[in-house]
C-alpha cells in the first residue's frame, strides 16, 4: 500500500499523539478506502508546514482554509470539505449577548496572537489582550481578568475539559470557515478519488461516527 503524509499545525482534539484525533481518523479512513496508507503529522510552526507541503517534503496539508493555492501553487485542494470551523466567544458565568462583533465593544477580550479572523474584526476594539497560547488565554478568563475569550469551538471545549471548568459558547458562532485537505500536485491523480471517498464517508455514517467519538462527546 502506498503511503502519504499530510501535515497540519493543529493539535488536540483534531490530532493526537496516538493518531486518534478527528482529523487523524478522517484522513486515515478516507485514504484507506482508495488504497493509500495516510497519516497526519503536526508542526509547531504552521507556516513551515505549508512550505514543506508546497515543496513536496510532505505530501499535503490537512485542515486548511480555501484559497491556499494562490500563495502555494504546488498545492491542490481536495474539493470535498473536511469540516466547518466555528469561531466562538467563550465565557464563564457571563451572558453572551450577541453573535455580532460590535456588541462586544465594552467587554474585555482575549485571543491568541496571530489569529487573523479575530485581528481583522477587532482592529478598533478598546480592551483586547493578545496571548501567546490558548492556556494563557484561558488563565486570564478563569482569573476574571477578561470577560470573554475568542477561540475555535472544539479546541476550546477540549481545553475546558482538561482544566475541568464549565464554559459557555456564543450561538450562533461569530464566524465559520470551511476547512479542506490539500495535496501536493505530484499527487493530483488522487484528488478526485479522495474527494469521492470523503463524500462516501459522510453518506454511509462513518464520518458522523468519527465525529461523535472525537468531537461530539465534548459537548456533553
Average pLDDT over residues 76-87: 98
* Domain span holding position 142: 85-175
C-alpha closest to that of 96 among 148, 48, 133, 136: 148
Look at residue 104 and give its three-state secondary structure. helix
Q: Are residues 94 and 50 in the same domain?
A: no
How many other C-beta atoms are found inside a 10 Å radius of the C-beta of residue 181? Answer: 30
Whether residue 97 is predicted with pLDDT greater than 80 in this model: the reply is: no
Q: Are residues 89 and 55 in the same domain?
A: no
Q: Are residues 18 and 39 in the same domain?
A: yes
Domain of residue 146, CATH code: 3.40.190.10
How many other C-beta atoms are found inside a 10 Å radius of the C-beta of residue 148? Answer: 21
Count of the separate structural domains present in the chain: 2
Q: Are residues 79 and 118 in the same domain?
A: no
Whether residue 98 is predicted with pLDDT greater than 80 in this model: the reply is: no
Report pTM.
Answer: 0.93
Q: What phi, psi does 134 have (nearest 5°)? A: -70, -40
Amino acid at each position: 500500500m502506498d503511503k502519504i503524509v499530510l501535515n497540519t499545525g493543529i493539535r488536540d482534539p483534531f490530532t493526537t499523539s496516538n493518531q486518534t484525533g478527528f482529523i487523524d481518523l478522517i484522513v486515515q479512513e478516507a485514504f484507506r478506502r482508495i488504497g493509500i496508507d495516510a497519516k497526519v503529522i503536526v508542526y509547531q510552526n504552521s507556516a513551515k508546514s505549508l512550505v514543506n507541503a508546497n515543496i513536496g517534503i510532505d505530501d499535503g496539508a490537512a485542515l486548511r482554509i480555501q484559497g491556499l493555492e494562490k500563495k502555494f501553487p504546488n498545492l491542490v485542494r481536495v474539493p470535498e470539505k473536511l469540516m466547518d470551523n466555528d469561531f466562538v466567544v467563550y465565557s464563564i458565568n457571563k451572558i453572551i449577548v450577541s453573535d455580532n462583533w460590535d456588541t462586544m465593544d465594552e467587554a474585555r477580550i482575549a485571543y491568541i496572537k496571530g489569529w487573523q479572523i479575530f485581528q481583522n474584526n477587532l482592529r478598533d476594539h478598546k480592551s483586547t489582550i493578545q496571548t501567546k497560547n490558548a492556556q494563557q488565554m484561558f488563565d486570564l478568563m478563569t482569573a476574571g481578568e477578561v470577560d470573554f475569550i475568542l477561540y475555535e469551538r472544539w479546541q476550546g471545549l477540549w481545553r475546558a475539559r482538561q482544566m475541568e471548568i464549565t464554559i459557555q459558547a456564543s450561538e450562533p458562532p461569530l464566524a465559520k470557515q470551511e476547512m479542506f485537505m490539500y495535496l501536493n500536485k505530484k499527487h493530483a491523480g488522487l484528488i478526485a478519488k479522495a474527494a469521492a471517498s470523503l463524500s462516501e464517508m459522510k453518506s454511509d455514517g462513518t464520518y458522523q461516527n468519527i465525529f461523535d467519538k472525537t468531537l461530539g462527546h465534548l459537548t456533553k
